[in-house]
Structure formats: C-alpha cells, structure tokens
Amino acid sequence: MADITNAASSVRPLPGYFARRFDAGGSIYAGQPVYIAADGDIEAADAGGTLTGQAIGMAVADNDGGTLFVAGDRVDVVMFGAVTGFASLTPGLKLFVSATAGGLTQDVPAVGSLVCDFGIALDASTIMVNPVRTANEDPYTVKVS
C-alpha cells in the first residue's frame, strides 16, 4: 500500500476537533502529520527518526483556504478529532506516519521500525487523528518487534 493521498484544499476538520496553532519551521501542506522540532516550530513528520516520527497532529487549511505553509506561517494543527479530505482509505485500519516526510500510510510497519500510531480511518475519506500513548512506551512511538 502506498502513502495516503489527499487534495490539500479539501482537508478540513469536522465538528468536535481539538486544535492548536503553531509556527511552521518549513514547508507544510494541509493534510500532513507534523512534529514539534527542537526550536518549537512544527515541521512535516516522517518515520525516519525518533524526533521526526513523533507526530502531534495534522496541519489543516487556514481560515482563508490556504493549504501551503512556509517557515514563519501560523498553522492550525488538529491534535485530536476527525479530519476529512482523503481518498481510498480502508475503514477500520490504523494510520502510521510514513518514511516520506508529511506522509501517512495504512501499511503495517516493518519489524524493528520506530513508528507513530497516528489514528484510524473512519471511512474512505476521513481520519480520526489520535496520536496516542501506548502503555509503557514513548508517548508517540511504538517499537514494532
């Protein structure tokens, strides 16, 4: 299975979500998972490292419909709740941060990978964003064995 696709202009939270606004530390598109970099800014998450793989939520379009954010822009990040605008999700399957910066996948992580359990597909176009803590593990990552 490849990375999940979305139309950034269609990515939007559904009622009942929790979000916070952060400063972008680089280029981020709506629909991408983000992590908090060492300087406190957010950047597109990827499964390539302990820090970059710890996604805290998903960037969503701003009030003006903007979908691309560059360093210094303010970005709304859904930290919990339903976000729609995706395509071809398999309902009921978990989503993980992929090795591609800003990517999500429904592929089961490879043995030995450090991954972020990011949420679950509610239907073919909606993700329940919920990067949760697994008991006795790092807050956002699970070591697959």
pLDDT along the chain (145 residues), means of 10: 76 94 95 94 87 89 86 95 93 90 83 75 95 51 50
Count of domains observed in the chain: 1
Six token digits for residue 21:
């606004």
CA-wise closest residue to 44 among 17, 19, 57:
57
CATH code, domain with 74: 2.40.300
pLDDT at 10: 85
Its domain, for residue 10, covers 5-143
Euclidean distance between CA atoms 106 and 9, whole angstroms = 22
| Phi, psi angle pair for 144, to nearest 5° | -80, 130
Q: Radius of gyration over alpha carbons of the chain, in Å? A: 14
Listed in sequence order, the residues at least 6 apart from 139 whose beta carbon sits closer than 8 Å to its beta carbon are 54, 133
pLDDT at 111: 61
pLDDT at 110: 67
pLDDT at 113: 61
**Alpha-carbon dihedral angle through residues 49, 125, 82, 35, given to the nearest 10 degrees:** 20
The b-or-e profile of 96-132 (16+ CB within 10 A means b, else e) is: bbbbebbbbbbeebeeebbbbbbbbbbeebbbbbbbe
pLDDT at 119: 93
Q: Which amino acid is at 69?
A: F
Whole-structure pTM value:
0.86
